[in-house]
Structure 1
Amino acid sequence: MHNIKKSIAAFYNETYEGFKMEEHFHNFFEIIYIVDGSALFNINGKEYRACDNNIIFINNFESHNVKLIKYPYKRYYILIDSDYLYSSIKDMRLVSILKCRTQNFRHVLCISGQNSAEIYGMIKKLYEEINNEYDLKDIALKSYFSLLFTFIYREFKPYFMPDSYGSLSNEILKIQKYIEDHYNEDITLGKAAGLFYMDRYYLSHIFKKVTGYTFREYVIRQRLSKAKDMLYYTDETITDICTDSGFNNVNNFIRTFKNYEGITPHRYRKKYRKLY
């Protein structure tokens, strides 16, 4: 976990021995591209063996750990916050690979043949653009992101939101964005249904089908994501973090946090600040 408070960041690392990354979290979407070596990833309880020319998509709710299998382990990884993701990629279908977790979803995709050279080239371009101050940098970055996600979409369409949902998919992703922007307010299924002119029972059903989360779970996970961010990056009190992240009282916040994370907010802060 890097101590980063940017909208986007990119890294390249090589590891030759003795590497194990403990379970961790960051309030970013993460894209990992493995250049060489192999590793065992555990992402929200799903286990994958990933190797060279694999690309991995992890969202801001998903805790994950990594154990190396084959050295040297060389990889690029890109961290993107929610606002930058939405401003870079306008087509909601493309965003869905980071936003939706249906039953058949795979975090690790294997790139083969000529496709691997194409995607590797795009990842390298993104890395260079992010870490240098080139002219028209923002335009170039958004172009490369759109191109990368479009390329991945064409090759791995089943892991994106299905076309069969039509305009409904855009509505669900807009509701996800609404929750992200208003997580510290009183958000209810009924209120969201009213704002987006949908029947609440239908919204409940389709939200779960499209995203893999119930509406309530998505709100809670969004609030916990913000709370974990504040626990790591700030010295705010637990009470202030509870309020700022949208929970109605401290006892409910601590109980919910422990139910989802397995430890209290205080222990979480102590553990991850010590590790990173």
Structure 2
Amino acid sequence: MKKDIDLVMKKNVGFDDNNSAQFIYSDLYQPLAWPDEYPCFIQIHSEWPVQDVPLHWHHGPELIYSRNQEIRFIVDTEKTVIHPGECILISSGAIHNVEPKKEIRNQDVMSLTFKGTYIEKIYPKLRQTKISFMSPDSTDEDRQELVEYCEKLYAILEQDTKDYFALNEVLFHILGLIFNRFVSKECNETQSTKHNHDKMSLVLQYVEEHYQEEITVSSIAMEFGYSREYFSRLFKRYADVSFKQYINGFRLMKASNELYTTDKRIADIAYDNGFADEKSFYASFKKKFNMTPLEYRKSKYEISDQ
């Protein structure tokens, strides 16, 4: 049954950590799980082949620090690039994607995804606050300090035994620095912009729940009360790709996860992730990863033997 979108839009957009579109995977491609020992999910990304992270959002703010990678982002329709030794700060609820360079085999990138429900208790205006690594209130010294704290985290994480007191000390220094020095004053959203942003958040949740089914541009536009043409333009503005390209990439991400973590037949993985047939899955997979699904599955054993 078609949901009453106007009624849905009068409520918050599923704005909690469990309903955030959580497309984050570790080197073993395990789903996001919030730790009890500290206030964020920490990852060191070194997986190969390197993957894009499709358009998504988190309740909590996010910091991504690249040691050796140029990474492109789209954050609430704005295109941004960070270079090795730089960070990006992503606001609570910001719709964003991540596009690392594919040819970097030994990528070394850290992401800190803070738990929104926890941070909101400390900073109640979290959802209304925009953060930026280039905030006008920040200085080059502030930015260098944030990078140095990221390196301190690396040093703690590389220890055989984790020092959770030291880890929390650094994480709360980072949080204090973010909300004292990196809050952007440019927060003037029009009602129309907020309406479209909230609807896009719902679209992404819908894809997360229905990607295994047949979804066309026309059907999802109708689902959310848009004309096909307007929805296509709106989605392209947020994602910089068409909806068809986006959902194909999303399905490939889910399928590649299953190739790494299960022994399911490749044909079953294709059907279970919304592809019409095995042939179309192979063609899409080869185009994106420059290898077949079978070669991709074998690559995990090559990495584990290194």
Same fold (TM over 0.5): yes
Instruction: Kindly state the Cα deviation for residue 114 of structure 1 after the two structures are TM-superposed.
Output: 2.4
- In 1, distance between residues paired with 2:102 and 2:299? 15
- RMSD of aligned residue pairs (Cα, Å): 5.0
Matched residue type, 1:3: L
Residues 75-112 of structure 1 deviation map (CA, whole Å, 9 limit, x = unaligned): 7713769xx789989849969x9xxxxxxxxxxxx982
- In 2, distance between residues paired with 1:11 and 1:189? 34
Where does structure 2 lack aligned partners over 5 or more consecutive residues?
1-25, 34-40, 57-61, 74-80, 90-95, 121-125, 133-137, 157-161
Q: Within the alignment, does 1:182 sit opposite 2:197 as a pair?
A: no
Matched residue type, 2:184: R
CA contact (8 A) 1:92 1:173 kept: no
Structure having the higher helix fraction is 1
Q: 1:190–1:92: structure 2 CA closer, same or farther, 3 Å change rule?
A: farther
- In 1, distance between residues paired with 2:215 and 2:118? 24
Number of aligned residues: 233
- In 1, distance between residues paired with 2:176 and 2:199? 20
Instruction: Kindly state the Cα deviation for residue 216 of structure 1 after the two structures are TM-superposed.
Output: 0.4
- Counterpart for residue 184 of structure 2: 154
TM-score, normalised by the number of residues in structure 2: 0.56
**Identity percentage over the alignment?**
21
- Counterpart for residue 42 of structure 2: 10
Instruction: Kindly state the Cα deviation for residue 21 of structure 1 after the two structures are TM-superposed.
Output: 8.1
Question: Any idea what SS the aligned residue of 1:228 has?
Answer: helix
Instruction: Kindly state the Cα deviation for residue 10 of structure 1 after the two structures are TM-superposed.
Output: 2.1
TM-score, normalised by the number of residues in structure 1: 0.61
Which sits farther off after the overlay, 175-184 or 216-225? 175-184
Structure having the higher strand fraction is 1
Where does structure 1 lack aligned partners over 5 or more consecutive residues?
14-19, 98-109
Question: Any idea what SS the aligned residue of 2:68 has?
Answer: strand
Residues 201-259 of structure 1 deviation map (CA, whole Å, 9 limit, x = unaligned): 10011110122110101110000000111111111110111012111111111111112
Instruction: Kindly state the Cα deviation for residue 166 of structure 1 after the two structures are TM-superposed.
Output: 3.2
CA contact (8 A) 1:41 1:65 kept: no
- Counterpart for residue 55 of structure 1: 87
- In 2, distance between residues paired with 1:175 and 1:198? 12
Which runs of structure 2 are paired with 1:1-276 in the superposition (5 Å)?
A: 2-8=27-33, 9-10=41-42, 23-25=49-51, 31-33=63-65, 39-41=68-70, 50-52=83-85, 54-56=86-88, 59=97, 64-66=102-104, 77-78=110-111, 91=127, 112-117=140-145, 148=178, 154=184, 163=189, 165-276=193-304
